[in-house]
Structure 1
Amino acid sequence: MRQKLLFFCGCTAIEIMTVIGVTTYLFYLGESILALISMVVFGKLIIFHFVMEYLDKQNLKKIQNISKY
């Protein structure tokens, strides 16, 4: 539970909330092309953060397994 709550304080959660706000506002203004562009740009950044977090966890598991021996 703690990890899920800490996620909302992290960079990825802030980026997700930002892209939702920016995209919604651009759609509200009628700028659908700009909204789609912002979704693509932010989407790539968010995917990058999830991949880096996954790789970091995998690396941490390897380090913990090595230190047990």
Structure 2
Amino acid sequence: MGELLGILCGISIISFIEFAVLASNICTLFVKRRLYRVVDGHWLFTLLNGARLWGCSFEVSSRQDRTAES
């Protein structure tokens, strides 16, 4: 009887943790979706601009490496 109670208690704790994680994920998703809707253009622009700048700096550094070798 004690083992059964322990198993049930363990299952309920695990399911409670899973429920809490799921609830926080849904809440985070909802908040992020609203935030993305508000700053959608700005967020996308910042991401693309950052990727372009990173690509340019990577290209420049690889060119400098090539010229240093020759």
- In the superposition, the TM-score normalised over structure 1's length comes to 0.53
The count of corresponding residues between Structure 1 and Structure 2 is 38
**Which has more radius of gyration?**
2
Moved runs in structure 1, 4+ residues, more than 4 A? none
Superposed counterparts of 1:1-69, under 5 Å: 32-69=1-38
The code of the aligned residue for 2:19 comes to F
**CA–CA distance in 2 between the matches of 1:33 and 1:68?**
52
| Higher helix proportion (structure 1 or 2) | 2
**CA–CA distance in 1 between the matches of 2:37 and 2:6?**
47
Percent pairwise identity: 8
Question: Unpaired segments of 5 or more residues in structure 2?
Answer: 39-70
Per the alignment, in what secondary structure is the counterpart of residue 28 of structure 2? helix
Question: Unpaired segments of 5 or more residues in structure 1?
Answer: 1-31
Per-residue displacement from partner, 1:22-50 (whole Å, max 9, x unpaired)? xxxxxxxxxx1110010111110000000
What CA RMSD, in Å, does the superposition of the two structures yield over aligned residues? Answer: 0.6
RCO higher in structure (CA 8 A, sep ≥6): 1
